[in-house]
Amino acid sequence: MICPECRQPLSEKEIITSDNQKALVYECFNCGGHFVPPLIANLIPQVTAQDLDSVTPKNTYPVVPSVVCSVCQATMVGITDSVVPKNVTVYTCPENHGNYFPLHQLFAFKRAQKTKLQYHQLWGIPIKSVFTVLLPVLAIFTAITAIPFTLNQLKSSQESRVKAGELVSNPLVSPISPNQVVISFTTRVASTSSLKLILSGGVQIFPGAVTPQTTHIINLDNLAPATPYQYEIIINDKSAGLYNFTTPGL
C-alpha cells in the first residue's frame, strides 16, 4: 500500500491493542504518517501511539494536492466533529477503509482522547455518548458486520425453531477506559437486546436495543479496572450465550 500523503510505500507494523489483540497499522518512513484500519485507532494504547509517532521523516517529500486512501485511493476527508480537537489532524476514508494520521497526529489524538476521558472522570461528568471520544461510528459498524457469524448445527428435532445464539455475531469489546467498555455485535435479523453482567453479588442489566434492529451497541460503565467479567447477551428475551472480557488496568 502507498502512503495517503506522500505516495511512498507503507511498512506494516504489528501492535498489541488495549484489549490485548494483535493488529496491523501501516507507517510511512518517508513522511512519518500512519494509516490505521477502522476501529484500531480507538484501541491503540497511548504509549504505543507515542512509539509509532517517533519516526523521523526525510527532510523533503513531494507535496500532493490531496490525501487519498491507501486501500481504494478515494480522497480522504478531515474529521471536524467534536471527536477530534481543532489542533489535531485526522483524515478518514469515505468508504471506511481506515484513518490517516500525519506526522505526530496519532499521538496527539490519543493524548486528547485520554485527556477528555480524564476530565469527565475527574469532574464526575457522565459521557452521554461513548462515541464522543471514538473515531467514527460508522467504522465500528463496518468492523462489526465484517465479523463472520458462528452458527451451531441444529438437530433435526430443532430445525423448526431458531436459537437466539445463532443470530449473533461474535461480540466486539472496545475498552474506553479502565472503568468503561463498549460491547458491540450484530444480529442477522432485527431484534431487541440487552446485556446481563454477572457479578459476585448478583447481576446487573444493561439495556441495548429497545426497538428491533440489527446493530447493537451496549455501554458498560462503573467497572473495576483490571478485572475479569462474565456477561450474557439477551436477544429477544432469550439467552444468546456467555462471554468474557477483562477491563484494562489504570
- Residue pLDDT, tens place only, 145-154: 333 332 233 2
Residue type, 77: V
- The answer to whether 148 and 174 are in contact (CB under 8 A) is no
Segments of the chain with pLDDT less than 70? 19, 59-63, 119-167
CA angle 150-246-116, nearest 5°? 110
DSSP letters spanning 60-88: -----SS-B-TTT-PBPEE--STTS-TT-
Q: Where are the chain's structural domains? A: 11-120, 147-152+162-246
C-alpha cell at 132: 464522543
Alpha-carbon gap, residue 139 to 39, rounded angstroms: 6
Q: What is the 3-state secondary structure (H, E, C) of 124-139?
A: CCCCCCHHHCCCCHHH
Angle (CA) 215-83-49 rounded to 5° is 100
Instruction: Tell me the CB-side half-sphere exposure of residue 29, using CA atoms within 13 A.
Output: 4
- Predicted pLDDT at 141: 40
According to the model, what pLDDT value does residue 151 have? Answer: 27
Find the length of the chain: 250
Give the pLDDT of residue 218: 87
Reported as a single tens digit per residue, the pLDDT across 167-214 is: 677 787 877 778 888 888 878 888 899 999 999 889 999 998 888 888
Domain 147-152+162-246 in CATH 2.60.40.10:
yes
